């Protein structure tokens, strides 16, 4: 399996419901380093996994939709604990939509999967991986 990873970052505000979250139940900010890894079994006709420039642009567009927002105020997240794990899935799913729409080029249609990792810090991160 071949893979290419691109990186960006996002800053959000949110709060959580549930005693398990302790003080994070209050509104707080989070800054994530976001890695998106694109995977495929064989290289495309250009001998690449995916166009790195296009992958970077699309990741940036996806995180820009979330950055500098209080996710508690966004209707799509109403009633949802926007945990690091849940946000990794949101980013992966939005990237998958862009792959299927052709935004990463025709060669990207041969991708097997996407994995998104959100790094909360140098000691904690969460990932979500999905097939395409």
| Average pLDDT across the chain, whole number | 97
The per-residue pLDDT for 57 is 98
Q: Catalogue the long-range contacts made by 67-71 (C-beta closer than 8 Å, 24 or more residues apart).
A: 67/10, 67/11, 67/12, 68/11, 68/12, 69/12, 69/13, 70/12, 70/13, 70/14, 70/27, 71/12, 71/13, 71/14
The per-residue pLDDT for 30 is 96
The per-residue pLDDT for 80 is 95
Assess contact for 33 and 86: CB atoms under 8 A.
no
Measure the CA–CA gap between 34 and 8, rounded to whole angstroms: 5
> What are 19-78's pLDDT values in tens digits?
999 999 999 999 999 999 999 999 999 999 999 999 999 999 999 999 999 999 999 999
Please give the model's pTM, rounded to 2 decimal places: 0.96
Q: For position 49, which CATH number holds? A: 3.30.479.10
Question: How many domains does the chain divide into?
Answer: 1
**Residues facing 114 on adjacent strands:** 38, 130
21: containing domain: 2-131
Report CA-CA distances (Å) from 15 to 25, 56, 69, 72, 121.
5, 29, 12, 7, 18
Coil/strand/helix, residue 113: strand
């Amino acid at each position: 399996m071949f893979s290419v990873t691109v990186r960006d970052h996002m800053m959000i505000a949110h709060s959580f419901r549930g005693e398990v979250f302790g003080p994070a139940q209050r509104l707080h900010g989070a800054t994530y380093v976001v890695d998106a890894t694109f995977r495929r079994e064989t290289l495309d006709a250009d001998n690449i996994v995916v166009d790195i420039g296009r992958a970077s642009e699309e990741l940036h567009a996806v995180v820009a939709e979330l950055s500098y927002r209080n996710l508690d105020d966004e209707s799509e997240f109403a009633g949802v604990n926007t945990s690091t794990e849940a946000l990794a899935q949101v980013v992966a799913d939005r990237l998958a939509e862009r792959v299927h729409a052709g935004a990463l080029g025709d060669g990207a249609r041969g991708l097997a999967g996407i994995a998104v990792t959100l790094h909360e810090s140098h000691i904690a991160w969460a990932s979500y991986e999905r097939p395409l």
